[in-house]
Amino acid sequence: MQPVLISAAKPSTAAAASSCQTPFLTDAAKLIDSAKTFIFDCDGVIWKGDKLINGVPETLDMLRSMGKKLVFVTNNSTKSRKQYGKKFESLGLDVTEEEIFASSFAAAAYLKSINFPSDKKVYVVGEAGIQLELKQAGISYIGGPEDGDKKIDLAPGRFMEHDQDVGAVVVGFDRNINYYKLQYATLCVRENPGCLFIATNCDAVTHLTDAQEWAGGGAMVGAIKGSTKKEPLVVGKPSTFMMDYLASEFKISKSEICMVGDRLDTDILFGQNGGCKTLLVLSGVTTLETLQSPDNSIQPDAYTNQISDLLSAKKVASA
């Protein structure tokens, strides 16, 4: 089946742009020249739900032909890198598993980076993506979708046992969150000495359908913050863990990275926290009005309507 293409909003008016501190991207060639690596957020940049955004394949091809390294980063933890690879493939995009960094992978990579003890296990509040990445990393886990149907009968004297060997609770977006999981995670964090509380992301909302915004991973993380009174260690955007990991894994300099995203509080902040150049696209959740609002303090280096605007560099080159 052919992917459905959708177009981003019409170019903004010069009058609207003039009140914004962030300039509209006018010289795509200069931006491309200044970066060796482009990190793209996925939803709202590459696709919207299951629809590819107009001009994406041509843009990625052009950047690759110019020798740029491309990396795709998403806070969505419900899928593993392998599962994301299939999504790219289904949209007709040629992207390898090694180029994809999901927050599910970040959670497993973080635990590996701290040499998480092999006799400890992880309790997962989240979906299959986290479990698949933990498995790939050789880390034992319990919970996740298996606990999705569990109910608690609060009969007098009810006492819940929990595994004393849980050394970390990893919390991500979970469509089957329930009281069992909340209580289990709470017991592990509160009662197991040194148990880590790791969040894949704290996104307030997510775009499960294109009709409205839905409660995001921050809702699940917030519940366990509430019951444990502990702050989680966040491994997804805007935390710099993934950026540091990418820089060291691929041996790239952060000042030569351009982070391209549609969200100010995750993507653009992620780029800025990592010392990268930042480009906001208006093809996702952020409107020009939000960018230019006096309430917004996050200003990217430039903004544009969609990533295919970078194709103008090709026209300059061939002119």
Indicate which residues carry an active-site annotation: 41, 43
3-state DSSP call for residue 233? strand
Interface with Mg ion in residues 27-56 (CB under 5 A):
41, 43-44
CB of 238 to Mg ion, least distance (A): 12
CB of 215 to Mg ion, least distance (A): 16
* Residue 240 backbone phi and psi in degrees, to 5: -85, 5
Instruction: Output the CA angle 45-47-51, nearest 5 degrees.
Output: 150
The identity of residue 84, as a single letter, is: Y
| Structure-block tokens of residue 25 | 């991207």
Whose CA is closest to 130, among 150, 151, 110?
110
* Residue 317 backbone phi and psi in degrees, to 5: -60, -35
Nearer to Mg ion, 111 or 269 (CB): 269
Using omega within 30 degrees of 0 as the cis cutoff, is the peptide bond preceding 238 cis?
yes
Q: Which residues pair with 170 in a beta bridge?
A: 124, 198
Nearer to Mg ion, 106 or 187 (CB): 106
Nearer to Mg ion, 143 or 217 (CB): 217
Nearer to Mg ion, 44 or 232 (CB): 44
CB of 14 to Mg ion, least distance (A): 26
3-state DSSP call for residue 221? helix
Which residue intervals of 66-192 are DSSP H helices? 81-90, 103-113, 128-136, 179-191
Binding mask 126-155 for Mg ion (x = CB under 5 A): ------------------------------
By beta carbon distance, the residue nearest Mg ion is 44
Interface with Mg ion in residues 232-291 (CB under 5 A):
262, 284
By CB atoms closer than 10 A (0-12, 13-18, 19+), residue 185 is buried
Rg over CA atoms, the chain: 21
Nearer to Mg ion, 167 or 261 (CB): 261
Distance in angstroms (rounded) separating the CA atoms of residues 64 and 62? 5
CB of 306 to Mg ion, least distance (A): 13
The answer to whether the CB of 258 falls within 8 A of the CB of 35 is yes
CB of 280 to Mg ion, least distance (A): 11
CB of 44 to Mg ion, least distance (A): 4
By CB atoms closer than 10 A (0-12, 13-18, 19+), residue 190 is middle
Nearer to Mg ion, 187 or 310 (CB): 310
Q: What are the C-alpha distances in Å from 93 to residues 26, 46, 59, 279?
A: 27, 10, 11, 21
Give the HSE-up count for residue 226: Cα atoms under 13 Å, Cβ half-sphere: 8
CB of 198 to Mg ion, least distance (A): 21
Say how many residues make up the chain: 319
Nearer to Mg ion, 44 or 55 (CB): 44
Binding site for Mg ion (CB under 5 A): 41, 43-44, 262, 284
